[in-house]
Amino acid sequence: MASFAPAIKIGAQMVEQLLIHKDINKKEAKEISINMLQRVGIADAEKRFNQYAFELSGGMRQRAMIAMALSTMPKLLLADEPTTALDVTIQAQVINLIKDIIKEYQMGVIFITHDLGVIAQVADEVAVMYLGSILEKGPVNKILKNPKHPYTKGLLQALPDVNNLDEPLRPIPGNIPSPLDRPSGCVFRTRCPNASHECSQGMAEMGLIEVEPGHWVDKCCINCG
């Protein structure tokens, strides 16, 4: 949302990056940009194309940035929380757009998000990360239906149950340690409900092992059960 240059119109920024990446002229770049703004659900795209970032709402700026990223049709798109702060309708539009473009242009996406609902909709493969370490990874259905690591289980348990909204939420206790003060051994041990004596002392060694085809889990966790 804060990535557009404030003193240059949205359209000029979109056109500039297209001219750098593609062998097209300014008129074609403008057409592609306006079309992409329309595809991410921005009404009156031509008018928005000629506006500055401060004239757009936060959600619109986010969608315009997504349009800009997609307009060059990259082989691999790194999307870091691309749907955060969007309302669910626009979020669904953006997810569907990204899915369509993946199919249309055979594009790969690394989608970074804390939203498990979004992961269930977009991902084939998931890597669950904590403090910069991958604790569990594999196909999305295996990770969401049969999580092995306490952190993955904690994330799933923390989701509100829409069929039982009176049930108290079950957050993962504690806070994420500072990256400058990483726990030794298992990085999750300061918040883990299942820590064995060995891992709570920071003696366990981390590293992934395959527990079923394609499903990898941190080995110190498997060892301490």
Contacts with ligand SF4, residue ranges (CB under 6 A): 150, 186, 188-189, 192, 194-196, 199, 204, 220-221, 224
Burial string for 28-56 (b: 16+ CB within 10 Å, else e) reads ebbebbbebbebbbbeebeebbeeebeeb
Q: Which is nearer to ligand SF4, 110 or 209 (CB)?
A: 209
> In the complex, what is the shortest distance from the CB of residue 189 to ligand SF4, in angstroms, rounded to a whole number?
4
Alpha helix (H) residue ranges in the chain: 10-21, 26-39, 45-49, 58-71, 88-105, 116-122, 140-145, 150-157, 197-200, 219-224
Q: How far is the CB of 213 from ligand SF4 (least distance, A)?
A: 22
Give the shortest CB-157-to-ligand SF4 separation in angstroms.
14
Integer Cα distance of 129 and 115 in angstroms: 13
Give the C-alpha separation, 152 to 218, whole Å.
11
Question: Buried (b) or exposed (e) across 127-137, using 16+ Cβ within 10 A?
Answer: ebebeebbbbb
Q: Which residue, 138 or 150, is less far from ligand SF4 as judged by CB? A: 150
Minimal distance, residue 188 CB to ligand SF4, in Å: 4
Q: How far is the CB of 201 from ligand SF4 (least distance, A)?
A: 10
Considering the complex, state which of residue 93 and residue 196 has its C-beta at the smaller distance from ligand SF4.
Answer: 196
- Give residue for tokens 């770049």: 29
Q: With respect to ligand SF4, which residue has the nearer C-beta, 97 or 204?
A: 204
CB-nearer residue toward ligand SF4: 49 or 130: 130
CA dihedral for 50, 55, 57, 61, sign (positive or negative): positive
Min dist CB 67 to ligand SF4, Å, is: 40
| Residue with Cβ nearer ligand SF4 (6 or 171) | 171
The pair phi, psi for residue 222, each rounded to 5°, is -65, -40
